[in-house]
Amino acid sequence: MRGLRATGHTFTVPLDHSRPGGESISVFAREYTSTDHDDAAVAALPWLLFLQGGPGGRGNRATQLAGWMKAAAERFRILMLDQRGTGLSTPADGLTLAARGGPAEQAEYLTHFRADSIVADAELVRRRLVGAPWTIFGQSYGGFCALSYLSFASEGVERALITGGLPPLSGSPDEVYAATYARVEERNREYFGWYPGDRGLLTRIARHLEGVEEHLPTGERLTVRRLQMIGSFLGGNTRVDALHYLLEDAFVSTPGGPRLSRVFLDQVGALVSRSSNPLYAVMHESIYCQGGASAWSADRVLGRYPQFRPDAADPLLTGEMIYPWYFEEDPSLAPLRETAELLARKEDWGPLYDPGALRRNTVPAAAAVYRDDIYVDRSLSLRTAAAVKGLRVWETADFHHDGISDDGEAIFTRLLEMTGEH
């Protein structure tokens, strides 16, 4: 279709890679190649594994080669992984997890859905499908997975490319969320500098929600704190201005007074629901945990930033942080409330990275660090980069967290050249 071929592959993998003879699940991946290459040329191409952002994000469904995929398909066979629990891999959501038993059984099952397990899946796929080392390209959480790959299975990697995804190698999630709130506050002020009228409009919507019941299409009441999560728009250059178009649709006049429009509520409902990717909410804080519990880090750290409180005079937008009350207000997450609580309390998480292996790294690696990224902090990213031998950094203020959606072709090409590929 439109200059590309797509071929699906399904693999059986252990749920727990430390117990290869135990329970198994399936992992799906889709291969993309360019029709500019004939079959013989495709067979000779090296492979590139794309590690999607998330957690809980399935691989991209491409209908044409554009952006970074267009550049990559010139010299690679691209494998787009549906990380375990997502897409056409064995699903893990509010419906399927019920078959595992109660919250304790569900939580135990989900301990096998972090970066270390995703990397073990990828390495098993590589050995069965490819044989030779491949290039890995990680965006956002995919970059976290890439560092796990370099930590535990670097023999399978020819080169590593990372965009907006260099996580702390140690420490508490609290450090991450403190940096995130500071960055998100800056981005709020930047946005309202561009659209000063939206500052008053957002406050008006918040005060309206305190006095008037407005319901999302899924039936639940829209609260101020859930409204604040439309700040996910702030994380990118390619869609930040779309927030203005969302807010301008907010109110309509009715015989009973101003009400939020159905157009607005439909759009907000799609933004603040996790029905299509519940693993993002359930697993989000665990991606930073090695040893200690997250204990709802984002919620605790919020206490230091009263300007984000829903009852603040002019509440700020939050974004992609996850809070315990979310499992009460989002109907798709309510069945997983106790499961999420158990994961938040878990104190014996295993390691996600091997700092010693990263200090000895011999794999060519390059990372784009976005100076104003509100979700993966610049200073924390640079600290991590300095701890990985041979990792070359391109620091830029031209892009935000969604840089590869902005100019993926140029970003991918530059990182590839930084690893010595021309």
pLDDT tens string 176-214 = 999 999 999 999 999 999 999 999 999 999 999 999 999
Active-site annotation holds for 401: yes
Q: What is the mean pLDDT of residues 142-151?
A: 98
* Block residue for tokens 């506050």: 185
pLDDT tens digits for range 339-365: 999 999 999 999 999 999 999 999 999
pLDDT tens digits for range 74-86: 999 999 999 999 9
- The DSSP call for residue 398 is S
**How many structural domains compose the chain?**
2
Among 140, 294, 297, 381, the active-site one is 140
Domain boundary among 293, 326, 345: 345
Among 112, 208, 400, 401, the active-site one is 401
* pLDDT at site 236: 82
Domain range enclosing 396: 4-170+353-418
Question: Are 91 and 235 in a shared domain?
Answer: no
* pLDDT at site 422: 66
**CB atoms < 10 A from the CB of 316, how many?**
24
Among 38, 39, 348, 422, the active-site one is 348
Enter the pTM of the model. Answer: 0.96
CA angle 223, 224, 226 (to 5 degrees): 70
- Give the bridge partners for 28, in sequence order: 10, 82
What totals of helices (H) and strands (E) does the chain contain, helices first? Answer: 17, 10
Structure tokens at 75: 């010299």
* pLDDT at site 237: 82
> What pLDDT band is residue 104 in, cutting at 50, 70 and 90?
very high
Contact status, residue 257 vs residue 315, Cβ threshold 8 Å: no
What is the amino acid identity at position 49?
L
For the range 190-198, what are the long-range contacts, defined as Cβ-Cβ under 8 Å and sequence gap of 24 or more? Answer: 191/234, 191/240, 191/243, 194/241, 195/244, 198/243, 198/244, 198/247
Active-site annotation holds for 16: no
Domain boundary among 293, 315, 345: 345
Structure tokens at 217: 């299409």
Question: Are 183 and 310 in a shared domain?
Answer: yes
Question: Are 128 and 203 in a shared domain?
Answer: no
Active-site annotation holds for 82: no
End-to-end CA separation in angstroms for the chain: 28
* Mean model confidence pLDDT for the chain: 96
> What pLDDT band is residue 421 in, cutting at 50, 70 and 90?
confident
| Residues 126, 129, 131, 132, CA torsion sign | negative
Q: CB-based burial of residue 262 (10 Å sphere; 0-12 exposed, 13-18 middle, 19+ buried)?
A: exposed
| Residues 44, 8, 164, 346, CA torsion sign | negative
Question: Are 181 and 164 in a shared domain?
Answer: no
Question: Are 122 and 193 in a shared domain?
Answer: no
